[in-house]
């Protein structure tokens, strides 16, 4: 009887019954008696019988215990709740004054299934066995901190609330698309330290949602980064078949909220995540994606709803997903960006490989913080847990291990290259596809956990390094536009497997076969010596004609400060003329990528029109400006095809009419006539082709298009003090 009327007893004890009723109206009118409240009005998590989770049971008159009940109309149940509350209020009137008021619900320590997922007997996963590394073992919930709440065991019944779907299924399955955000919403109903917001749309038509976890009120009320916090941003499911980050982050957010109940923990960290970035790919949830991947039972698809690879879209932003990401990324301005993946390729003992901001292209203060502090800490802690990590594996020659491992500067089309343009430390995690799903999820979980723990403990030094990096960016005079990798290498140990090549019966080809029963420690050359290949002087700024609005809007979306001219103004500028352009033979990520061209720079006077845009390079995000506006940069707007029309001639001549104009041109231009005669004498093929001769003269006449092959964005060689930023 006590259990059945617990909500009504709480109503009687509440000092404000109407307020209580407003808070618990759904519980009183919708949920079966198995959802109870404690003496403070807090919801209790009570196990239901195995398999009794469908809402249809409640809808058609069965409660969680399987007994029949009357399907009362909603208003009748509301009235019944009020009457019973008043009746019990009279019985327990003496408790009304003594009991404290109803407290807001908080997330408390919950109990996992009885399958011993969180066994206190294990402190870390087992070390590498000789047969198959990292076998399926129960999930170990290592204490995030010595004072963290402990996780106790439940009876042998299925839990209803905070155990993730991956844990419930013993990591046989990943959470399905329809259940990702409801899990976070349940957490948000129980803790004041989490909120969920929509940040924009996706190509799939679904809104992209963001989850923020923080103790600081500014993170939830003002929805801006607290000044004394470090911001860690996690991106999951950019390739929706690589789902381990999706499940690991659910577990991590839950455990963070438990820790935040302790006033001494996580006081300098704001954790931000996009639970699933590629919603369109995740919606294609079935067993026949990722053919070479070891579980789970179902997963999403690599590309998004329009067929774009989102991890090639960070600079061109052709997708609604990426434009929404811009809003979240620049609002929170993270100190660390983690992009969770599952790798393809070779087989080896490591359950996790990674890329991190440590190469010379990264600002020196951040590079030192990563190389001297964060990276050694992660390597040590992950190895101690039984999850050794190594840099991302890319062989120098095809699939030949002994040729060595390469490292290079990532272009900004990738998350790793994009984040570094804004002085954000980027960490790419690559769980190994051939390890079982449990191992991949737990390796991802612990990598994120140790990263955020270290960032929280060393928040002051990380914030200082970021400030120094921003200051360094604004004061730089020169910029390395291209980097190259030398042939210099250093020996490293690599935990691999013995392998050999065998003849395939299906294809007839010879392929590598790894022997997982024979782990081998190789000594390999590691090619990570990166040096500048081309350096330019940083101009005062750039001028962009107002017609190229698609470029201007992308700059603004990335928080680049621009100034629109209020009147026509003359500048002294450098402008590039392009020749011999070459494109890819077929579309790449929806565009015809410009692979090569020749550049000729000239200095001239330039008349900018009212409404044209001036972009100053004296701002913290100057690296993004240079990488996008310099035509020869690896991922510039020019290379991605934003200026394709400048390569197409629009006006032509009729030979029979232009013949007379060409004669007049030669008569009036003696220098042109001299060069023309010399060309006729040196090139017999040219002299015998009448049309080519007319085209030669047409291109040197005032009738030829001045904008053909001319890059429309110019470098400014002077400052304009009268221009005000607006």
Mind listing the pLDDT tens digit for each residue in 667-691?
A: 999 999 999 999 999 999 999 999 9
DSSP string, 251-280: HHHHHHHHHHTSTTSSTTEEEEEES-S-HH
Q: What's the pLDDT score for residue 595?
A: 96
Burial group, residue 478, by CB count within 10 angstroms (0-12, 13-18, 19+): exposed
Asked whether residue 107 carries a pLDDT value surpassing 60, the answer given is no
Q: What's the pLDDT score for residue 85?
A: 55
In the chain, the percentage of residues whose pLDDT exceeds 90 is 72
Q: What's the pLDDT score for residue 706?
A: 86
Question: Alpha-carbon distance 248 to 477, whole Å?
Answer: 43
Average model confidence (pLDDT) across the chain: 82
Q: What's the pLDDT score for residue 124?
A: 37
94 pLDDT tier (thresholds 50, 70, 90): very low
Cβ pair 562, 615 in contact under 8 A: yes
Burial group, residue 397, by CB count within 10 angstroms (0-12, 13-18, 19+): exposed
User: Nearest to residue 247, comparing CAs of 164, 329, 340, 327?
Assistant: 164
User: Nearest to residue 314, comparing CAs of 453, 211, 407, 417?
Assistant: 417
Q: How far is CA 397 from CA 401, 404, 511, 597, in A?
A: 8, 8, 15, 28
Q: What's the pLDDT score for residue 140?
A: 41
Asked whether residue 712 carries a pLDDT value surpassing 90, the answer given is yes
Asked whether residue 35 carries a pLDDT value surpassing 60, the answer given is no
User: Nearest to residue 589, comparing CAs of 319, 342, 235?
Assistant: 319
Q: Which two tokens stand for residue 639?
A: 């290379």
Cβ pair 45, 159 in contact under 8 A: yes
Asked whether residue 696 carries a pLDDT value surpassing 60, the answer given is yes
- Most confident by average pLDDT, 90-104, 116-130, 557-571: 557-571
Q: Packing angle between helix 74-91 and helix 6-13, nearest 10 degrees?
A: 60
Q: What's the pLDDT score for residue 98?
A: 41
The secondary structure element, H or E, covering residue 700 is: none
Burial 44-77 (b: 16+ CB within 10 A, else e): ebebbeeebeeeebbeeebbbeeeeeeeeeeeee
Residue-wise pLDDT for 208-239, tens only, equals 999 999 999 989 988 889 989 999 999 999 99
The torsion angles phi and psi of 469, rounded to 5 degrees, stand at -65, -45
The mean pLDDT value for 85-110 works out to 45
Range with lowest mean pLDDT among 103-107, 309-313, 517-521, 611-615: 103-107
Q: What's the pLDDT score for residue 31?
A: 36
Residue-wise pLDDT for 578-637, tens only, equals 999 999 999 999 999 999 999 999 999 999 999 999 999 999 999 999 999 999 999 999
253 pLDDT tier (thresholds 50, 70, 90): very high
Q: What's the pLDDT score for residue 113?
A: 39
Q: Which two tokens stand for residue 196?
A: 């969920």
Q: Is 603 left (phi over 0), alpha (psi -120 to 50) or beta?
A: beta
SS3 33: coil
Question: Alpha-carbon distance 234 to 325, whole Å?
Answer: 12
Quote the strand ranges of 610-713, DSSP E: 613-616
Asked whether residue 477 carries a pLDDT value surpassing 70, the answer given is yes
Asked whether residue 156 carries a pLDDT value surpassing 90, the answer given is no
77 pLDDT tier (thresholds 50, 70, 90): low
Range with lowest mean pLDDT among 21-25, 450-454, 623-627, 637-641: 21-25
Q: What's the pLDDT score for residue 448?
A: 98
Q: What's the pLDDT score for residue 24?
A: 45
User: Nearest to residue 428, comparing CAs of 438, 439, 417, 436?
Assistant: 417
DSSP string, 391-442: E---EEETTEEEEEEE--PPPTTSHHHHHHHTT-EEEEEEEETTS-HHHHHH
Q: Chain-centre distance of CA 134, in angstroms?
A: 27
Q: Which residue reads 């001028």 in tokens?
A: 543
The mean pLDDT value for 343-367 works out to 94
Question: Alpha-carbon distance 274 to 206, whole Å?
Answer: 13
DSSP string, 200-215: EE-TTSSEEEEEEEES
74 pLDDT tier (thresholds 50, 70, 90): low
Q: Which two tokens stand for residue 459?
A: 């928040």
Q: What's the pLDDT score for residue 344?
A: 86
Q: What's the pLDDT score for residue 298?
A: 95
The mean pLDDT value for 526-536 works out to 96
Q: What's the pLDDT score for residue 44?
A: 40
Range with lowest mean pLDDT among 63-67, 471-475, 633-637: 63-67
Asked whether residue 396 carries a pLDDT value surpassing 70, the answer given is yes
Asked whether residue 574 carries a pLDDT value surpassing 60, the answer given is yes
Cβ pair 114, 154 in contact under 8 A: yes
Output the CA torsion 707→613→225→106 (10° steps): -70
Q: What's the pLDDT score for residue 224?
A: 85
Alpha helices, H only, 505-638: 549-557, 622-629
Asked whether residue 703 carries a pLDDT value surpassing 60, the answer given is yes
The torsion angles phi and psi of 329, rounded to 5 degrees, stand at -60, -45
Q: Chain-centre distance of CA 707, in angstroms?
A: 38
Higher pLDDT, 220 or 98: 220
Cβ pair 466, 335 in contact under 8 A: yes
Question: Alpha-carbon distance 425 to 380, whole Å?
Answer: 19
DSSP string, 115-177: TTTT-TT-SS-----SSSSS---------SSTTSPP-PPPPSSB--SSS-HHHHTTTSSPPPG
In the chain, the percentage of residues whose pLDDT exceeds 70 is 77
Burial group, residue 1, by CB count within 10 angstroms (0-12, 13-18, 19+): exposed
**Cis peptide, bond prior to residue 296, ω within 30 of zero:** yes
Q: What's the pLDDT score for residue 537?
A: 95
User: Nearest to residue 202, comparing CAs of 299, 305, 274, 282?
Assistant: 305
- List the domains of the chain with CATH numbers: 6-98 (no CATH), 165-472 (3.40.630.10), 490-531 (no CATH), 538-649+709-716 (no CATH), 655-699 (no CATH)
């Amino acid at each position: 009887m006590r259990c059945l009327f617990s909500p009504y007893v709480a109503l009687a004890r509440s000092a404000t019954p109407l307020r209580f009723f407003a808070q618990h109206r759904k519980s009183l009118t919708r949920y079966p008696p198995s959802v109870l409240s404690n003496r403070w009005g807090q919801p209790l998590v009570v196990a239901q019988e195995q398999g009794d989770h469908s809402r249809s049971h409640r809808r058609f008159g069965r409660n969680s215990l399987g007994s029949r009940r009357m399907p009362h109309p909603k208003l009748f149940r509301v009235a019944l709740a009020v009457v019973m509350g008043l009746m019990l209020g009279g019985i327990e009137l003496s408790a009304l004054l003594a009991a404290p008021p109803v407290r807001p619900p908080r997330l408390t320590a919950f109990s996992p299934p009885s399958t011993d997922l969180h066994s206190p007997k294990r402190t870390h996963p087992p070390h590498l066995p000789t047969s198959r590394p990292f076998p399926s073992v129960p999930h170990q919930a290592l204490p995030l901190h010595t004072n963290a709440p402990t996780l106790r065991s439940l009876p042998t019944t299925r839990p209803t609330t905070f155990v993730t779907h991956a844990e419930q299924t013993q990591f046989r399955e990943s959470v399905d698309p329809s259940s990702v955000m409801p899990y976070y919403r349940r957490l948000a109903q129980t803790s004041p330290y989490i909120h969920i917001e929509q940040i924009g749309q996706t190509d799939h038509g679904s809104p992209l949602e963001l989850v923020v976890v923080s103790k600081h009120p500014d993170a939830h009320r003002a929805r801006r980064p607290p000044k004394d916090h470090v911001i860690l941003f996690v991106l999951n499911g950019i390739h929706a078949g690589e789902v381990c980050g999706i499940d690991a982050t659910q577990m991590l957010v839950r455990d963070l909220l438990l820790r935040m109940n302790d006033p001494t923990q996580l006081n300098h960290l704001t954790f931000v995540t996009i639970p699933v970035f590629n919603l369109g790919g995740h919606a294609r949830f079935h067993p026949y994606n990722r053919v070479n991947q070891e579980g789970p039972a179902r997963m999403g698809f690599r590309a998004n709803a329009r067929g774009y690879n989102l991890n090639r879209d960070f600079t061109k932003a052709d997708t609604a997903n990426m434009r929404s990401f811009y809003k979240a990324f620049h609002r929170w301005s993270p100190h660390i960006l983690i992009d969770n993946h599952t790798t393809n390729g070779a087989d080896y003992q490591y359950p996790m490989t990674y890329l991190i901001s440590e190469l010379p292209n990264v600002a020196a203060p951040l590079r030192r913080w990563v190389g001297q502090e964060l990276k050694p800490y992660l390597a040590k802690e992950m190895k101690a847990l039984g999850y050794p990590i190594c840099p991302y594996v890319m062989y120098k020659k095809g699939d030949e291990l002994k040729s060595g491992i390469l490292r290079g500067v990532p272009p900004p089309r990738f998350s790793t290259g994009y984040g570094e343009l804004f002085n954000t430390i980027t960490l790419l995690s690559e769980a190994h596809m051939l390890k079982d799903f449990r191992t991949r999820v737990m390796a991802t979980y612990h990598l994120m956990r140790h990263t955020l723990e270290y960032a929280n403990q060393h928040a002051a030094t990380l914030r200082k390094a970021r400030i120094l990096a921003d200051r360094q960016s604004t004061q730089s005079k020169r910029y390395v536009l291209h980097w190259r990798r030398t042939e210099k290498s250093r020996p490293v140990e690599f935990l691999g497997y013995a392998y050999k090549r065998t003849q395939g019966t299906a294809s007839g080809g010879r392929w590598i076969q790894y022997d997982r029963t024979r782990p081998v420690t190789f000594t390999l050359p590691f090619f990570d010596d990166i040096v500048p290949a081309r350096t330019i002087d940083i101009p005062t700024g750039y001028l962009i004609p107002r017609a190229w609005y698609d470029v201007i809007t992308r700059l603004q979306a990335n928080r680049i400060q621009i100034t629109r001219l209020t009147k026509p103004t003359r500048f002294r500028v450098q402008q590039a003329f392009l020749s011999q352009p070459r494109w890819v033979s077929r579309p790449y990520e929806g565009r015809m990528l410009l692979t090569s061209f020749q550049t000729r720079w000239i200095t001239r006077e330039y008349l900018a029109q009212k409404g044209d845009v001036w972009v100053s390079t004296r701002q913290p995000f100057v690296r993004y400006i240079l990488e996008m506006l310099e035509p020869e940069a690896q991922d510039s707007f020019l290379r991605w095809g934003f200026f394709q029309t400048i390569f197409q001639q629009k006006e032509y001549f009729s030979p029979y009419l232009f013949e007379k104009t060409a004669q007049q041109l030669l008569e009036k231009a003696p220098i042109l006539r001299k060069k023309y005669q010399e060309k006729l004498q040196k090139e017999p093929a040219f002299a015998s082709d009448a049309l080519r001769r007319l085209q030669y003269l047409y291109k040197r006449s005032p009738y030829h298009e001045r904008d053909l092959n001319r890059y429309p964005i110019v470098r400014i060689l002077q400052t304009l003090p009268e221009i005000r930023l607006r």
